[in-house]
Amino acid sequence: MTEKLTEKRSAAFAYAPAPESRSVVDIAPSYGLFIDGEFTEAADGKVFKTVSPSTEEVLSEVAQAGEADVERAVKAARKAFEKWSALPGSERAKYLFRIARIIQERSRELAVLETLDNGKPIKETRDADLPLVAAHFFYYAGWADKLDHAGFGASPRPLGVAGQVIPWNFPLLMLAWKIAPALATGNTVVLKPAETTPLSALFFADICRQAGLPKGVVNILPGYGDAGAALVAHPDVDKVAFTGSTAVGKEIARTVAGTSKKLTLELGGKGANIVFDDAPVDQAVEGIVTGIFFNQGQVCCAGSRLLVQESIQDELLDSLKRRLSTLRLGDPLDKNTDIGAINSAEQLARITALAERGEAEGAERWSPACELPTSGYWFAPTLFTNVTQAHTIARDEIFGPVLSVLTFRTPDEAVAKANNTQYGLSAGIWTEKGSRILAVAGKLRAGVIWSNTFNKFDPTSPFGGYKESGFGREGGRHGLEAYLDV
């Protein structure tokens, strides 16, 4: 009887499919590199395919930048720098305001495009990525003619040509974080999007055209790691900004050693989400879910380690498991989808291997009943209990929907465990007591601390890491410094 009731109830929660229309975006069969205001083929004619991770359908064929193309793009950016940096700040501001407005106008199209190329749910691209992208350009537009007030002295100067390499987890948002402050401060840019998600950056090139941005100010070079490495190493690049893995970040730091290049790095993380016994459990559960399952956990600041006070562990985990059972995994274009596809086969293999390692090392694995689609790259929401600090899944960044649960008894122990990592990007604190939040926040070695919330972003708020999560800040007034000669 009770079983039947349960069945009925879950049936009542079944949603009809509600797919967002693909017709809002028109993807061309092929795209070039965007250099000096023109789309152009790669010098060696190489191309690569970009696929939709949820279906493995080929979306388009994209020119693949090589060393010769990096040369051309840097030259174009250098040439454009003279006039761009000499423009009054108020004129640069108006270009950026135009870009912000065009992004707002085209935001549904870009959201669908991003979901197709990246695999993340439409409700995230529509409600998080795109609004943040537009807001970021809007915010830095306003700084372009106010640099005297930013606290870096009178009339701070730009650096020159910025070489920027961005990841695939928030393709357009990471582009915005890089390009908006660079242009506002008077630099020109050469940007390399990730090889699995080149499309939104190429659409952005078209937005630059619509905005009438002078040619050469923004250059987009889709390609692989070799193009990124060539860009970072190019002698005429004055500024390097990278978001990605800690291993590559270290390699870049070695590459720029001995040069005058200014470097900012936004790298990996293993964020601790600390839940005290007085936390509001329902809110904390929502925060934990957001913390690790937002964007399938492919977030550098994910709350991938749950540190729960021992006395409430059972209650919290029961509640969390109940909540995970209601998550909808599937078609990223469906407006009801909570968990989309993993970005690539390579990333899926990495997540799979680390999860297997977790089991092998003795942690207890749990996932809700969850049917995975037959094509595309998918991984069910997963949590591990009985995790110790020595376990690989408590130490390595998994970059997937996998949560490692550890416990603590005292606040000191929570802080010690939270800080016991090579990383220091983010952390969460859940407690009703304000002084405890501030005391614990004061002891955490991490660049962003969320209290009774998680994964909050705003263009006015600086973001970046301690320790091996990188250095420099993006966003806010602080984010200007990375692109100024100060």
Shortest Cβ distance from residue 85 to another protein (Å)? 18
Tokens linked to 403: 């949560």
477 binds another protein (CB under 8 A): yes
Stretch that binds another protein, among 194-202, 325-333, 428-436, 464-472 (CB under 8 A): 428-436
Complete DSSP assignment for 461-477: S-B--SGGGEES-BSTG
Q: Which of residues 140-199 bind another protein (CB under 8 A)?
A: 141-146, 149-151
User: Min. distance of Cβ 433 from another protein in angstroms?
Assistant: 8
For position 412 contacting another protein by CB under 8 A, the verdict is yes
Check residue 443 for interaction with another protein (CB under 8 A). Answer: yes
Q: Residue 76 CB, nearest distance to another protein (Å)?
A: 28
Regarding 434 and contact with another protein (CB under 8 A), the answer is: yes
Distance in Å, CB of 294 to another protein, minimum: 21
Please list, in sequence order, all residues whose beta carbon lies within 8 angstroms of the beta carbon of residue 426, skipping any fewer than 6 positions away: 269, 271, 301, 302, 303, 446, 447, 448, 449, 450
* Cβ proximity of 342 and 53 under 8 Å: yes
**Residue choice 476, 481, 482, 484 for contact with another protein (CB under 8 A):** 476
**Residues within window 301-360 making contact with another protein, judged by CB under 8 A:** none
- Distance of alpha carbon 447 from alpha carbon 466, whole angstroms: 6
Q: Does 210 bind another protein (CB under 8 A)?
A: no
What mask, x for binding another protein by CB under 8 A, covers residues 6 to 25? Answer: --------------------
User: Smallest gap, in angstroms, from Cβ of residue 471 to another protein?
Assistant: 21
Beta bridge partners of 273: 306, 428
C-alpha to C-alpha distance for 186 and 87, rounded to whole angstroms: 8
**How far apart are alpha carbons 405 and 395 in whole angstroms?**
12
Report whether 269 contacts 425 (CB < 8 A): yes
Active site residues: 266, 300
Nearer to another protein, 226 or 278 (CB): 278
What DSSP line would sit under 198-250, residue for residue?
Answer: -HHHHHHHHHHHHTTPPTTSEEE----HHHHHHHHH-TT--EEEEES-HHHHH
Q: Which is nearer to another protein, 259 or 311 (CB)?
A: 311
- In the bound state with another protein, the residue whose beta carbon lies nearer, of 74 and 414, is 414
Per CB under 8 A, does 433 bind another protein?
A: yes
Q: Which is nearer to another protein, 321 or 478 (by Cβ)?
A: 478
Q: Nearer Cβ to another protein, position 228 or 459? A: 459
Residues 6 or more apart from 280 whose CB is under 8 A from it? 430, 432, 452
- CA 377 centroid distance within chain: 19
SS (H, E, C) 334-358: ECCCCECCCCCHHHHHHHHHHHHHH
Nearest residue to 405 via CA among 416, 421, 394: 394
Could you say whether residue 135 binds another protein (CB under 8 A)?
Answer: yes
Q: How far is the CB of 443 from another protein (least distance, A)?
A: 6
Minimum separation from the CB atom of position 162 to another protein (A): 22
Nearest CA to 251 out of 272, 267, 271, 270 is that of 267
Q: In the set 90, 210, 388, 389, which binds another protein (CB under 8 A)?
A: 90
Least Å from the CB of residue 390 to another protein: 24
Task: State which residue, 168 or 408, has the beta carbon closest to another protein.
Answer: 408
* Region near another protein per CB under 8 A, out of 38-46, 111-119, 138-146, 185-193: 138-146
Token pair for 459: 């263009």
**Residue 90 or 375: which CB sits closer to another protein?**
90
CB of 293 to another protein, least distance (A): 27
Residue 155 · residue 130 · CB < 8 Å: no
Task: Write out the binding residues for another protein, residues 371-410 only, by CB under 8 A.
Answer: 410
Q: Lay out the sheet containing 161-165: strands in order across.
A: 38-40, 33-35, 218-220, 188-192, 161-165, 239-243, 262-266, 470-471
Which alpha helices (DSSP H) does 106-222 contain, by range? 107-118, 122-124, 130-143, 171-184, 199-210
Region binding another protein by CB under 8 A among candidate stretches 62-70, 86-94, 112-120, 258-266: 86-94
For another protein, the closer of residues 148 and 226 by Cβ is 148
Closer residue to another protein (CB): 89 or 368: 89
Beta partners for residue 334, in sequence order:
19
Q: Answer for the pair 218, 179: CB distance below 8 angstroms, yes or no.
A: yes
Binding flag, residue 436, another protein (CB under 8 A): yes
Buried b / exposed e along 329-345 (16+ C-beta atoms within 10 A)? bbbbbbeebbbbbbbbe
**Is 49 a binder of another protein (CB under 8 A)?**
no
Interacting residue with another protein among 245, 336, 411, 486 (CB under 8 A): 411
Does residue number 450 form part of the binding site for another protein (CB under 8 A)?
no
Length reported for the chain? 486
Q: Does 137 participate in binding another protein (rule CB under 8 A)?
A: no
Using CB under 8 A, count the residues that bind another protein: 33
Closest among 354, 242, 217, 258 to 297, alpha carbons compared? 354
Report the amino acid identity of residue 347: Q
Q: Which residues of the chain form contacts with another protein (CB under 8 A)?
A: 90, 93-94, 97, 135, 138-139, 141-146, 149-151, 410-412, 415, 433-436, 438-440, 442-443, 459-460, 476-477
